[in-house]
Amino acid sequence: MPGLVGIIPSGQELESTVFDRMVQSMCYEPTYTVQRACLEGASMASVCIDEEPTLAQSGDVTLLVDGDFAELDDLRDRLATAGETQARSWTTPEVLLHAFRRFGAEALCSLNGLHAICIWEASPRRLTIVTDRYGFRKLLYWQGTAGFVYASEMKALLAHPAIPRKVDTAGLTCFLNLTHLVGDLTLIDGIRQVPAACVMTYCEGNVERTDYGGLAFGEPGQTLDPDTVLAETAQLLRQSVQRRLKDNTYLLLTGGLDSRSIAGCIGSIHPRGAVGSATIGHRHCHDVRFGRRIAEAVGLPHRFLPVDASYFQRYWPAAMARTEGRVSSHGYWHLAADALVREHGVRSFMVGSITMGLRSRAEALLAIPDAYRGWARDEGVMRYDFEQHMEGGFKEDELADIVPPHLHSIDKDLAYRQILRTFHNAPTDHVPSKVDFVTVREHERGFIVGNFEMLGGLTRVSTPFLDRDLFDYTFATRPSWPMGKREHLMMIARHFPEVAGVSRTSTIIPPNASWFEEKLRRGVMRLHYSILPKLTGGRLGGHSYGRYVHYDEWLRIGARAFVAETLGEPAALEGLVNVDTAKRVVADHMSGRTNDYSRVCLLLTLALWRRAYAIS
């Protein structure tokens, strides 16, 4: 990150100053470099955070790539077999370019990585865009009388004089409902996002999109040995971690399951001390305490990255530059990691994801309340998941109160309808797998990608759990043998014993706990969170050490003045939301009558977004 930018003007010469402004808008860090190609009929460039090559040219074909690949061995071997004897020495963009020329866009589909690829062919004047199968590397586009304009960041498109800074009402409604966007929606009218697993072409004013699929699921009813599945999953995770380790890599470590599994892999395949680790949070939170113990267990140097209530005010300019309003401000604490990058020249952050735990959530949905069972074709399962896990902002029945009067005609269920389309388009009839598909394509893509963007402003970010081989194996076995949290705990206890004795953040129970120890620790938790507060009138117990950030308290105390100043500006939210409702939500939270920190953060995000980008 930040990524790609390009213009194909419509029947007229492009003013170079327009393209220059677009490129410069993405160069908001002094360390960024630019690789540019000004061609007949098109201009394209990549803005890079390091010196890795992103550009390749051969004849009348030019390719730019944004992202990372775990490996391209299969593609190099295919090229070598086809007679390209130099394939194994080519750079990544050269491999991709020659594969495109030899085999077409099909060769660039389902590669092992997170990326967006743009290819310009001068003779047919055709642009081809290929996104990764998860859609985790975003690319936005706009088409109008001025031509076709695309970029990884919204600010580059807004630097084009033909594109108005007008709110997209559907995108705004979706954001207020979910706290992130789904489908191809954006917050700006006329701008769309290239879908996941997509081959898009633009030629002579026509846009065509093809979904190449990319994700496949196994069939239920297979006979699988649990021990074999756990062992194979652990080995594939080790392979995935090994593929992504670079010099000066830091693992962002918590007390959860995913990052501890990665730490266990690093401890078994890498020299002690060669990879660093860090944890973000307040000093006494479980993630910091348990993350430090996990690091010690496998010999990883560990750094504590403190964050406090001032993080909203301190980090919002950089966070807004990277996420452009599409991620709620409550996650701006991720930018505490910037200090580590600037001080130690971190080349890559490695992070976990929730992909390993998707199945346990999907299986639990089969026990939904009876009220949801009347929906057709298992839609009740999806509806229940939507209401319980996806509506992180204002619920559908609350949107009428928060949207301004001129938006009352907008369908309040548009986010759910997009979710339902994805559910029905899943390449399987197995209902839990369909829910998994939605979670990856809509929830993880819309929510977790924002975290990647915040962390990736100065360095690269990777997650081993999205490795193609590991992901495909996990999804192939899910319908017959679920790999949920319980199974993940078993894998850690058996295959990563060094980290199995450290407590988990959410339960303070280690993965290898005995039955007696688990019961004892659950009793301690109940004493702290339930019994002591009742017995002492709230004077003892109750404090949550599980959260690395105290969103609710910090908004009321440390960030109170910043929230009041930001939302108190006369035009801060006018036209975006119903201002009276917004004031009531903020006042209720600040007074302690409610705990609505997620909604206050949403409103704060919209106000800061308008301030940064002058949105009408």
d(CA 118, CA 468): 21
Q: Strand, coil or helix: what is 543?
A: coil
CATH class of 226-356+479-526: alpha beta
CB half-sphere exposure, 17, CA atoms < 13 A: 1
Q: What mean pLDDT is reported for the chain? A: 89
d(CA 517, CA 521): 6
Q: What is the mean pLDDT of residues 149-157?
A: 97
Outline which parts of the chain fall under CATH 3.60.20.10. Answer: 3-211
pLDDT tens digits for 392-431? 999 998 998 998 877 767 778 899 999 999 999 998 888 8
- Got the DSSP string for 428-481? -S-HHHHHHHHIIIIIIIIIIHHHHHHHTTSSEEE-GGG-HHHHHHHHHHTTTS
CATH topology of domain 3-211: Glutamine Phosphoribosylpyrophosphate, subunit 1, domain 1 (3.60.20)
Q: What is the mean pLDDT of residues 362-377?
A: 60
pLDDT tens digits for 228-245? 999 999 999 999 999 999
pLDDT above 90: percentage of residues in the chain: 63
**Res 355: pLDDT:** 55
pLDDT band (50, 70, 90) for residue 449: confident
**Res 284: pLDDT:** 84
**Res 370: pLDDT:** 66
pLDDT band (50, 70, 90) for residue 10: confident
d(CA 316, CA 454): 11
Taking each helix axis as running N to C, give the angle between helix 485-495 and helix 257-269, from 0 to 180 degrees, rounded to the nearest 10: 20
**Res 478: pLDDT:** 81
Smallest CA-to-CA distance from 449 within 554, 323, 336 is with 323
Q: What angle do CA 3, 8, 10 make, to 5 degrees?
A: 150
Outline which parts of the chain fall under CATH 3.40.50.620. Answer: 226-356+479-526
pLDDT above 70: percentage of residues in the chain: 93
Cα-trace Rg, the chain: 24
b/e code 537-572 from CB counts within 10 Å (16+ = b): eeeebeeebbebbbbbbbbbebbeebbeebbeeeeb
**In the predicted structure, residue 362 carries a pLDDT above the cut 60:** no
DSSP state of 387: I
**Res 356: pLDDT:** 53
pLDDT tens digits for 532-558? 767 777 676 666 666 778 888 889 988
pLDDT band (50, 70, 90) for residue 376: low
d(CA 68, CA 88): 17
pLDDT band (50, 70, 90) for residue 299: very high
- Report which residue type is found at 160: H
Of 267 and 408, the structure prediction assigns the larger pLDDT to 267
pLDDT tens digits for 553-575? 889 988 999 999 999 988 899 99
**Res 263: pLDDT:** 96
Q: Strand, coil or helix: what is 106?
A: helix
pLDDT band (50, 70, 90) for residue 527: confident
Q: How many helices (H) and strands (E) does the chain have?
A: 24, 17
pLDDT band (50, 70, 90) for residue 481: confident
pTM of the model: 0.93
